[in-house]
């Protein structure tokens, strides 16, 4: 089994509204993708999330989104490339302020929700996010979806001078080309721990697994995401962490 990092979307509570079980999930992951205030994460939540990550030695990634609190950043907004670059820079600065205050810094950037998906469809928006990363700090990596063929992403990132981290999902259904099945469709998000664990182990081992139609798909990933809002997440994370650490 290849060495693969575990990541989780965290810091997604907002005021009195609580989401995820960050306190128990944080010790189990290598990377925490922290909301920056646009889809979730008020200032106190961000501050506490950074402190929790620092306490457990977890790498902190910015999780910027479209400005869509009501839709949790999962609605596609008609933002220009200039707007996207600015809103990503804005969110990186907000989270990094808390990181610096805690004696650490951002380690990478992973766009959230609809923005994450839009980068796969639009070179212009992808280049805007790459430009935000490059302008914020030289060498700041961008985390993107591992596909069956990532030559497009590699070409655009190389032109911008931005390193890439490729991410796969343990608890999401796939299409044969490595694209995620839309959350609007039945079966897009796995709910059963054995199914999540089986796909996670296949990805970690570089082996093929079944897409939503039963066809084989194989991905090369640097990091594996298990969503913190999935009720099976903690059970899977504990078992997966033990299996990966045993290698």
HEC readout, 159-181? HHCCCEEEEEECCECECCCCCEC
Do residues 127 and 156 make contact, with C-beta atoms less than 8 angstroms apart? yes
Do residues 241 and 206 make contact, with C-beta atoms less than 8 angstroms apart? no
Phi/psi-derived region of residue 179, left when phi > 0, alpha when psi is between -120 and 50, beta in every other case: beta
Do residues 50 and 36 make contact, with C-beta atoms less than 8 angstroms apart? no
Six token digits for residue 63: 């999780």
User: Can you name the CATH fold of 5-245?
Assistant: TIM Barrel (3.20.20)
Examine the pLDDT at 1 and tell me if it is beyond 60. no
Examine the pLDDT at 233 and tell me if it is beyond 80. no
How much is the average pLDDT of 180-187? 90
Q: What is the pTM of this model?
A: 0.95
Instruction: Report the percent of the chain where pLDDT is more than 90.
Output: 82
pLDDT (0 to 100) of residue 228: 65
Taking the chain, what is the end-to-end CA distance rounded to the nearest angstrom?
7
Q: Which residues lie across from 189 on neighbouring strands?
A: 172
How much is the average pLDDT of 184-190? 89
Q: Is the dihedral of CA 198, 203, 205, 210 positive or negative?
A: positive
Rounded to an integer, what distance in angstroms lies between the CA atom of residue 228 and that of residue 7?
10
Do residues 170 and 225 make contact, with C-beta atoms less than 8 angstroms apart? yes
Map out the domains of the chain as residue ranges: 5-245
Q: What is the pLDDT of residues 102-117, one digit of tens each?
A: 999 999 999 999 999 9
How much is the average pLDDT of 22-43? 96
Do residues 119 and 111 make contact, with C-beta atoms less than 8 angstroms apart? yes
| Mean pLDDT (the chain, rounded) | 94
E-assigned strands of the chain?
A: 5-10, 31-35, 59-63, 108-109, 142-145, 164-169, 209-210, 216-217, 223-225
Q: What are phi and psi of 109, to 5 degrees?
A: -130, 130
Nearest to 133 by CA among 167, 159, 99: 159
């Amino acid at each position: 089994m290849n060495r693969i990092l575990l990541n989780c979307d965290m810091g997604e509570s907002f005021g009195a509204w609580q989401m995820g079980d960050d306190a128990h999930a944080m010790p189990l992951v290598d990377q925490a993708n922290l909301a920056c205030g646009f889809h979730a994460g008020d200032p106190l939540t961000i501050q506490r999330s950074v402190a929790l990550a620092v306490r457990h030695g977890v790498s902190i990634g910015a999780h910027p989104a479209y400005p869509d609190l009501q839709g949790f950043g999962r609605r596609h907004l008609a933002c220009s490339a200039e707007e996207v670059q600015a809103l990503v820079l804005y969110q990186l600065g907000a989270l990094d302020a808390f990181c610096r205050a805690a004696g650490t810094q951002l380690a990478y950037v992973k766009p959230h929700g609809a923005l994450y998906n839009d980068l796969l469809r639009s070179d212009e928006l992808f280049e805007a996010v790459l430009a935000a990363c490059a302008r914020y700090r030289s060498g700041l990596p961008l985390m993107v979806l591992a596909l069956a063929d990532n030559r497009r992403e590699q070409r655009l990132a190389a032109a911008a001078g931005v390193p890439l981290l490729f991410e796969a999902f343990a608890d999401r259904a796939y299409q044969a080309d490595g694209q995620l099945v839309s959350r609007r469709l039945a079966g897009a998000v796995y709910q059963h721990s054995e199914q999540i664990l089986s796909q996670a182990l296949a990805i970690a081992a570089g082996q093929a697994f079944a897409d939503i139609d039963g066809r084989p798909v194989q991905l090369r990933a640097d990091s594996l995401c298990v969503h913190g809002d999935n009720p099976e997440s903690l059970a899977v994370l504990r078992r997966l962490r033990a299996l990966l650490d045993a290698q």
